[in-house]
A and B are shown apart, each in its own frame.
Chain A
Amino acid sequence: MKRSSIELVDNARSTVDPWLPFEKRSVELETRLRMAATEDEREALQRELDAELKRAFSSLTPWQRVQVARHPLRPRMLDYTSRVLDDFIELHGDRAVGDDPALIGGLGRFEGRTVVVVGNQKGVSTDERLRRNFGMAHPEGYRKALRLFRLAERFGYPVITFVDTPAAHPGIEAEQRGQGPAIAENLRAMLALKTPVYSVVLAEGGSGGALGVALGDVVAMFEWSIYVICPPERCAEILWRDADRKELAASALRITAESLRSLGVIDEVLPEPPGGAHRDPDGAANTLRIHIRKFLEGCDTNQWSPRKRQEKFRAMGQWLEG
């Protein structure tokens, strides 16, 4: 099911005002644009809106960028799969304990070929978010992902993973069933996997919970997404016992897509439509489609190999040696 941007808006409107302070002016213009009577008026408003979005989004502070990444209207995994894939058949269960609605996966068809898709579905409505635990996976989610990675490897299907989670679920049962070992197992398995993997961070990629499905031959981030070792609030709390210093932490942690590309943590940045993916999910999905197509062409020309993937992650880090 494809949700339009209007639906996205209506869904979130039903709960609280989802717009960020620096978006207010754009939203006002968008409303006026929808009601514009004449073509001339429409054109003028569109120009004004384009300029306003450009202005508002060109000077965001690191903390505001965190807010954009966490925007309640941001498209989620299933918004992308419904646009990018010709078909998606969800497969359920880790074959041991249960099925995790926070970390989902299955078989997909992309432009006539079979792929395996795995990722966090964070949910759109409040009900869905609760049911899906805000995209925070339990060990059985990671084990289901592993089972699907193995399935992909067996039949030579490329894997596409969608990363959209603040963290792995912190909870008693999760610990009991081995949250740490489950993530560790996925890291090792993804690095050994004989089939290529494309990973894309959609919104907020958080700590080991994100990493557990994010070790792609290509790791991409949407322009306004973030990828963090821990949320800036928590970083501030740990370092200075003061979560209110989150803004300082957000800027020091260098969590934006460009920063992380320059640090060699990710490979590519997917540009978003003006004002962010939530304003134009179709546009964002188109960009993703182009990048997945390029990745799959790389599969056909044997551009990716486990060895290259391993070497890439092995090279990450910076140190001095005297």
Chain B
Amino acid sequence: MAFLRRRRFISVVGRKSGVPEGLWIKCPACKKAVYGTDVKDHQEVCPQCNYHHRVSVWQRIEWLLDPGSFTETHPNLISADPLGFTIKEVAYSYAQKVTEYQKRTGLKEAIITGFGAIEGERTAFSFMDFSFAGASMGSVVGEKFCRAADDAIRERVPLVSFATSGGARMQEGTLGLMQMAKTADAVRALNEAAIPYISVLTNPTTGGVYASFASLGDIVLAEPGAEIGFAGKRLIEGALKVSIPEGFQTSEYQFANGFVDAIVSRTEMRALLAKFLRYMKPQ
């Protein structure tokens, strides 16, 4: 039986997303053993402690939107490696990394845009996926977010964005930084056109994405327990030589500080978004 006990729990810490079905797993938050299928049935939320596992964009789309309502837009944008970021001395090639991410994730970039519906309300969407380069924001993420906003304005439907990001895409240098300005301008255009923009912050939403379009929603929602902040914890610890208080830069912390309208569990997200989309329907 010792053999069984040893193999009964499979830790999912470090997995990009997805919980294995039909197995017992150890929840990385509450450390309790939960049945994988139970987690899956709860949209990858721990039934014991409400921990939100990371999910892929396609999984999220399946759970959130009316079945079969999603059509992807601008699917063929890929990074152009604008700086030619290849460093022979350390055998590093950004272009090659991008190809690797594409193979590993089946995604072309860290963002998917499109149109879909929630309870019949047609909506423009932008979803980011952390498994692609830590959902860092480079030219493609910036451009696709802007296009999603422009599509929303053109069709006069709201824009709903699910953000996640480790920050700006370093390998695109200052051009990557400029995506913050570019996406902030897309929000400005939405505001001027009176098109509602709902920004949902998921784990983690940090750096340049947090300091641009993600925090500029007319309504800002967050999944429970997500890491949300501008400067990384390690950077702050290193710079200030202080220890970080518990619960720092979580959804709950940002809610308490007044930067989030509501913390919404993944399983309740669809119902709440449906209300916003109905109540705020553009005229």
Contact = CB atoms under 8 A, between A and B. Distances in A.
A172 B240 contact: yes
A318 B239 contact: no
B175 A316 contact: yes
B139 interface: yes
B248 A314 contact: no
B248 A172 contact: yes
A155 interface: no
B181 interface: yes
Contacts of B168: 207-208, 229-230
Contacts of A187: 180-181, 184-185, 211-212
A170 interface: yes
Given A208-B211, A310-B188, A313-B185, A318 B231 contact: no
B49 to A, nearest CB: 25
Given A168-B231, A178-B259, A319 B77 contact: yes
Contacts of A177: 257
Given A170-B239, A175-B236, A253 B230 contact: no
Interface string B77-89: 1111011011101
Given A184-B216, A208-B211, A253-B83, A239 B77 contact: no
A94 to B, nearest CB: 15
Contacts of A178: 215, 257-259
Contacts of B171: 239
A253 B231 contact: no
A230 B170 contact: yes
A174 interface: yes
Interface in A229-249: 229-230, 234-235, 238-240, 245, 248
B179 A317 contact: yes
B181 A252 contact: no
B85 A252 contact: yes
B245 interface: yes
Contacts of A230: 168, 170
A313 B181 contact: yes
Give the residue among B180, B235, B240 with the most A Cβ atoms within 10 A: B180
A236 B207 CA distance: 17
Interface in B62-95: 74, 76-80, 82-83, 85-87, 89-90, 92
Contacts of B87: 248, 252
Contacts of A300: none
B178 A313 contact: yes
Contact of A171 (B79, B146, B231): B231
B16 interface: no
Contacts of A320: 77-80
B83 A316 contact: no
B242 A172 contact: yes
B240 A215 contact: no
27 contacts: A168-B211, A171-B240, A172-B244, A175-B229, A178-B215, A179-B231, A180-B211, A180-B214, A183-B212, A187-B180, A187-B181, A187-B184, A187-B211, A188-B188, A191-B188, A192-B188, A211-B181, A229-B173, A229-B174, A235-B170, A245-B90, A248-B87, A253-B173, A316-B139, A316-B179, A318-B139, A319-B77
Interface of A: 167-172, 174-181, 183-185, 187-188, 191-192, 207-208, 211-212, 215, 227-230, 234-235, 238-240, 245, 248, 252-255, 260, 263, 265, 310, 313-314, 316-322
Interface of B: 74, 76-80, 82-83, 85-87, 89-90, 92, 138-140, 142-143, 146, 168, 170-182, 184-189, 191-192, 207-208, 210-216, 229-232, 235-236, 239-240, 242, 244-245, 248-249, 257-259
